[in-house]
Chains A and B, each alone.
Chain A
């Protein structure tokens, strides 16, 4: 009985077409493994409890050697979206786009139009930080109470993805204890923004998400 149940859901997993994916690493064919592939997104209260932190990672599963050569793509715009009215439509946006070794940030600003297409709002508050080279201490800048960082970091995601795949493949019936962190020793390219909560509006709860957009 137990075995047939297991077989049933293994079959179900296979039918849903789950492939080699994780937090959001290589989540869909059009972005998989490319420079616009978001691997992860975090939003949390900062060390200074008056601030929030937004962190977006792209280009996952970089070995140290690959990290030394990895660069942000100048055709990939990263947007942090903030809904402060509860309708899941962005009321504020923070844009990040690299140019010539620097990450340019615009916002937060109320976007002139919402949805799938964006233009870069250079009239909004702009902030610039040098992209931290691999092997260097983090380079950060501050502007209007905000802090900015862009550069390679350890992938903060942890998951025994290898065993998960063994389960999906029918080679195992459960996780190991202890498990093995498939993402150990790998890096990502990170964009981190710390921002005063007072700049974000809302009544105690925000809905947030991150997007990559390309031209």
Chain B
């Protein structure tokens, strides 16, 4: 019984110290903290889905991943535009635009800086018919949005076989509460 009590007290002390030590720099109890030293160098980067995948030429994909977003636009916009115009007949003619009213230069100027805008005051969605790039929810059909903007032309009617992959939802329902993503298969 007594030994059990001591055990309990020790356990409580250990628990308390392990809980408090993370926020306390000078209590001398951090010796058991894992080693977090060293410099970490960038390997991969992502803002919006499928950007590096679709718009960056194969021999530049690694470079794109190790370019900071503030420098991506200047370095990659013209490559994005070249690849977009090669990819989609919807931008074949001068003045061609997408459903957002963007020509190839404007569209690729937006995409080349690979960050995801997020609203802190309103709806967060990749595109819901009204809001554009105010976030990305788990259920957003981002591929069909991108296909439409790449291939659909001014009113979304061009290249109809290419503007929607007809997979509109995930294979498992998402959770309404944290952590939101569905349990693994």
Contact = CB atoms under 8 A, between A and B. Distances in A.
A169 interface: no
B46 A24 contact: yes
A54 to B, nearest CB: 9
A147 interface: yes
> Chain B's interface: helix, strand, loop or mixed, by majority?
loop
A174 interface: yes
Contacts of A210: 45-47
A39 B184 CA distance: 15
Nearest to B141: A158
Interface of A: 5, 8-9, 12-13, 15-19, 21-24, 27-31, 36-38, 40-47, 52-53, 55, 62, 64, 67, 76-77, 81, 83, 87-89, 97, 99-100, 104, 114-120, 122-123, 125-128, 134, 138, 140, 147, 149, 152-154, 156-160, 163-164, 167, 173-181, 183-187, 190, 192, 194, 197, 200, 202, 204-215
Contacts, number: 299
A76 B43 contact: yes
Contact of A205 (B33, B47, B118, B165): B118
A207 B120 contact: no
Interface string B145-185: 00000000000000011101111111110101111111111
20 contacts: A16-B57, A17-B58, A23-B50, A27-B44, A27-B52, A29-B61, A44-B124, A44-B138, A104-B36, A117-B40, A119-B39, A125-B23, A176-B166, A180-B167, A205-B117, A205-B134, A209-B116, A211-B45, A214-B40, A215-B39
